Structure 1
């Protein structure tokens, strides 16, 4: 049998819909199907429906692009980065194009450096979960905490920034602190009290090991 490839999996759809899960050049990757588990009838080979499906699956232009779609099937990583970007460029403030570009680059460095962190675990070796409130759906959910970040690249950035500042002939700006009444001091303000974390974990539907959110700054 030829080596399995993503393209083979895609073309295999034409076999799967006919209840044929093993053929000369490959086989389906799912577990064996139980008798009666398929509610809808299988498509017959040569039927109008099967010919129409073959026209889509075997389209030459599509076959040249399908590899990308097989490897990147969701937008969860992009959504995760967009949420991460808000840590560096909040929607509450306006930035000049140069400042916004700089903050975006810093967010990208941080995200790429720490994107593959392992889940954080307690002393018993169990994963640590935290609760999060979604303002849009008005509901609580749970996510997995990750190991603490290691900002090993920060000293190099600081040295480069300081060297450039000293070479510019301009003084260093004063450090600014948040005002006592600044709303950012309040953190997350959810209109509903969170249910127990254990309850959220029990009813959570896993999506890539409880999502890929960057959550080190969120608390119960």
Structure 2
């Protein structure tokens, strides 16, 4: 689902860069939300297409948005203008949402399953085990376990509250849609599981009857023994000296 919505947003952003189509940038988030709504409410492609094609009427003001029904009080002023029917922007929108190549992938999203939480956890792992560094297998496993403990303990943190009890938000500007978005700020992490984990580690070490090892021999599978891996073999010093030149200095001056 997330990938389908992201792909749709990229196509909408590209269409909004065309002359006379800048109004589409204001509708990116609403159209992506409507895509999620259509995938949730339909079970087959025919039903999806009927709802999805109706988007061309919704954006012109002929009907209310299904997602907005009941969420906005009547008489509230809209924060965006309607798209004129038959205009350049309306035709560009039609080419995006009715693109046959994109519609062939829609059946993958009708199950309405999202991997957002899984991808969030994978991104969280990089805080403990960055791809820029190599780790031995025991160290890597320990870092993954720490990432899992951190994620599970703090994933359901409540939002931060102001002194008056209201939720504290943070404003972020989206360059693609050219709109400000609000995100609730969560409470700070407390890491209350760390002391318990430390006691368990020390207790297991004391009960083992062994001291800490001073030196550890590298295993044959340790990738660090290979050092830095070069794509091309190293050349002599004279060869790059003849070919490269510093800024503001010619090759003849260097020689």
Band the TM-score falls in, shorter-chain normalisation? 0.3 to 0.5
Question: Normalized per residue, which structure has more helix?
Answer: 2
TM-score normalized with structure 1 length:
0.43
Q: Of the two, which has the highest radius of gyration?
A: 2
TM-score normalized with structure 2 length:
0.39
